[in-house]
Structure 1
Amino acid sequence: MGTERLVLRRFRASDASVLSEYRSDPDVARYQSWEAPYPVEKAVVAVRNFAASSPDKAGWFQYAVEHAEERVLIGDVAVRLHENLQQAEIGFTLAAAYQKKGFASEAVGAVLDRLFRLQGLHKVTGECDARNVRSAGLMERLGFQREGLLRQQTFIKGEWTDDLLYGLLAEEWTARS
């Protein structure tokens, strides 16, 4: 699967060092569940697990986002497919050097296309730390509607954080294009 500038594919063992590198960036890790630095040994296990999962079965699947021209891993898009195969949660991470260039919108948009048009999902949700204005903005630009604010919902990295909840329905996505 891909776009004009990106290839979205299954993770490979050779991706572990790059995954470790961008997840070790404190700015990239700031609002994520992992701590920086993110050791290569941990990335090797993560990549092995990512590669073993399926985008068509319930549970998590992680798409590797590769820059098509440079042939380098620049991020990932995670999808947790619900047991009913009609709903999913989405998350995304991009290496700092590739942020603010439209790559995240492109990658997430391609995954949304697959989820809604190919897999026939009814709804996709997203959640982010309320301070993560760039993630919230990305979801809003892609048509997600803000559905809620969970106050002091998550205890992460030594503090309670508020979470924003977003949702996108199939008809909203297909009406966009």
Structure 2
Amino acid sequence: MPDTPLIETDQYRLRKLEPGDSAALFETFASEEACRFLARPRFESEAELCAWLTDPEWNGRSWVAIDKSDGALVGRFVAVPAGDDQVSELGYVTVANRQGRGVARACTAALITHLFEREDHRRVFAEIDSRNLASVALAERLGFTREACLREHERTHAGLCDMLVYGLLRREWTMGCTLL
């Protein structure tokens, strides 16, 4: 698996997640509202969240976004290999008090640009709970194409969920940003 490199935008620094980051993420991941679209229910303790975030069996890479203006941790972003080393599934969570401010859009765009330009990916995709309208809107704003609706595809703490698959090919990526 490739390293988890530093990725910078004008406003955010995406760095590799560290175990101590669970403290800043816990308030969001302990909220039933914030976790309603996760496969698992909210976290009961910071230790439980830390173990999940740093699970050595997990095969993905995890970044946290730091706001350069105040040093606050504002989100978590992941890339998980899928199929071959030119395809990754993406995931993103913005901390509760920063949602709706463009964090996910800016940081996901930077991650996509990195994967396409620096790691030679040909495709990225996201599986999104069909009820997660904010995530669907983000994928569409970033230029992803809805490729499938997998009905009753995933059993979560909320029951059976329909999952939407959104894909983006390197040749379709028009929102590239300058990587610092």
- Does the pair score TM above 0.5? yes
Equivalent-residue separation in structure 1 for 2:83 and 2:140 (angstroms): 26
1:95/1:102 CA distance change after superposition, 3 Å: same
| Contact 2:145/2:168 (8 A) holds in 1 | yes
Aligned partner of 1:10 in structure 2 is: 16
Equivalent-residue separation in structure 2 for 1:89 and 1:120 (angstroms): 15
Aligned partner of 2:78 in structure 1 is: 78
Question: How far is the alpha carbon of 1:38 from its aligned partner?
Answer: 4.0
Question: How far is the alpha carbon of 1:47 from its aligned partner?
Answer: 4.2
Note the 1:98-177 alignment, pairs <5 A: 98-173=98-173, 175-177=174-176
1:42 aligns with 2:40: no
Question: How far is the alpha carbon of 1:46 from its aligned partner?
Answer: 3.4
| Contact 2:26/2:49 (8 A) holds in 1 | yes
Equivalent-residue separation in structure 1 for 2:87 and 2:54 (angstroms): 25
Question: How far is the alpha carbon of 1:37 from its aligned partner?
Answer: 3.4
What is the aligned length?
170
1:88/1:21 CA distance change after superposition, 3 Å: same
Question: How far is the alpha carbon of 1:66 from its aligned partner?
Answer: 1.3
Question: How far is the alpha carbon of 1:176 from its aligned partner?
Answer: 4.0
| Contact 1:15/1:47 (8 A) holds in 2 | no
- Structure 1 unaligned spans of 5+: 54-58
AA in 2 matched with 1:12: E
1:28 aligns with 2:68: no
1:32/1:64 CA distance change after superposition, 3 Å: same
- Structure 2 unaligned spans of 5+: 1-6
What is the RMSD of the two structures over their aligned residues, measured on CA atoms?
Answer: 1.8
| TM-score of the superposed pair, with normalisation by structure 2 | 0.87
Equivalent-residue separation in structure 2 for 1:78 and 1:60 (angstroms): 7
* 4+ residue runs over 4 A deviation: none
